[in-house]
Structure 1
């Protein structure tokens, strides 16, 4: 793991923890999610009411994967299917924590950081990334990988697979606005945003 990837890992762990702490400070408890017995997650932290559980982001560690009988998360199958190497920051970003969407704000406005909720969700995420990159290749555009959505319809935030730069792009179009030189730089600019829970 490079120094940049270690920095990104630590930044994600710190940011996700800050999100949980800020949520507790503003709402009085952790975020809640509708409980689905078919869609369990190590993020779930106990029952809130009849249909909802508390949740918080959790670090993906060897111990956690052993406990959940999961193998180490890898993008090898994606890289093999696409015959390309994904940028290291993308792989670090999606294999550091299991989490629900984390709301955040920056100078550009509000956004939701996307993560895998569990191992099955990680597999679904991989399929979506493959579909996105195949679309970019079909349109003869530079490959990008999305990691966040904005409150503007069809606008996503993605990493340029070649440079690691963070850009805004409209689905199906070339990226049109550069936000930062790297994921580390971008996340350092974010502030956790507490989207008030209805529960």
Structure 2
């Protein structure tokens, strides 16, 4: 599973960077993003970045153990592969921004947010999901269903969930790159209320 996730994620990165290049867009960090990261590769242009792979993959086992649960293997690969900047893409017309850590500090913050997310779901007696991407509607998030491995669009704090893909690799393979500045879908998305 880890290899499939990493291959699909690497493919998303490659397609996204090629898309930007075809349109003459230089991939840069947001102007306010001055934090160090191994993603920065050009000393003369420190705003430029590309995904960085860890020499040895990390995982989220520490927080899974602390939460006394087992995380789906796909989430370990998704977040443990390395670091990246914001990747914007479209999933069947829905604009998404993949959540990826920028550096080790960001990876630690991500873990804290995942813990808070799981604790909130437990408090609400909802099945565990682990967030993967954001959408423009802040009350919804794209997550990995921890039990089934399906990728779902969920209404935060509610039982409402829509299955987008049967696995994380399948979801990643269906993403279409959006220009770095794009944050809204080009096509309206019709989801049940």
For the criterion TM > 0.5, the same-fold answer is yes
* 3-state secondary structure, aligned to 2:180: coil
**1:155 and 2:151 equivalent?**
no
Q: What SS does the corresponding residue of 2:20 show, helix, strand or coil? A: helix
1:76-100 superposed Cα distances (whole Å, 9 cap, x missing partner): 2201210001100011111123111
* Shift in CA distance, 28/79, structure 1 to aligned 2, threshold 3 Å: closer
Q: Secondary structure at the match of 1:78?
A: helix
Q: Distance in 2 between matches of 1:47 and 1:154?
A: 39
* 8 Å CA contact retained: 2:67, 2:115: yes
Q: Secondary structure at the match of 2:38?
A: coil
Structure 1 position 88 matched with structure 2 position 84:
no
Kept after mapping to 2: 8 A contact 1:44/1:53: yes
Runs (4 or more) in structure 1 with deviation over 4 Å come to none
SS in 1 for 2:30: strand
Structure-to-structure mapping, 1:34-53, within 5 angstroms: 34=31, 39-46=35-42, 53=47
**Alignment match of 1:73 (pick from 48, 51, 58):** 58
Moved more, 143-152 or 173-182: 173-182
Aligned length: 182
2:58/2:81 contact within 8 Å kept: no
Q: Give the 3-state SS of the residue equivalent to 2:23 in structure 1.
A: helix
Q: Which has the higher strand share?
A: 1
**CA–CA distance in structure 2, aligned partners of residues 109 and 83 of structure 1:** 34
Query: What whole-Å deviation, never above 9, does each CA across 1:33-53 have from its counterpart, x for those lacking one?
Result: 33656x21011132677xx61
How big is the shift at 1:108? 4.2
* Match runs of 1:50-199 below 5 Å: 53-62=47-56, 73-196=58-181
| CA RMSD, 1 decimal | 2.0
Q: TM-score, normalised by structure 2?
A: 0.86
Greater helix fraction, Structure 1 or Structure 2 = 1
Residue 29 of structure 1: how far off its partner (Å):
2.1
- Uncovered stretches (5+) of structure 2, i.e. residues with no partner: 183-193
Gaps of 5+ in 1: 63-71
Q: Go from structure 1 to structure 2 and tell me whether the alpha carbon gap of 1:47 and 1:152 turns closer, same or farther (over 3 Å shift).
A: farther
Is 2:27–2:48's contact at 8 Å kept on the other side of the alignment?
yes
2:28 to 9, 16, 31: 31
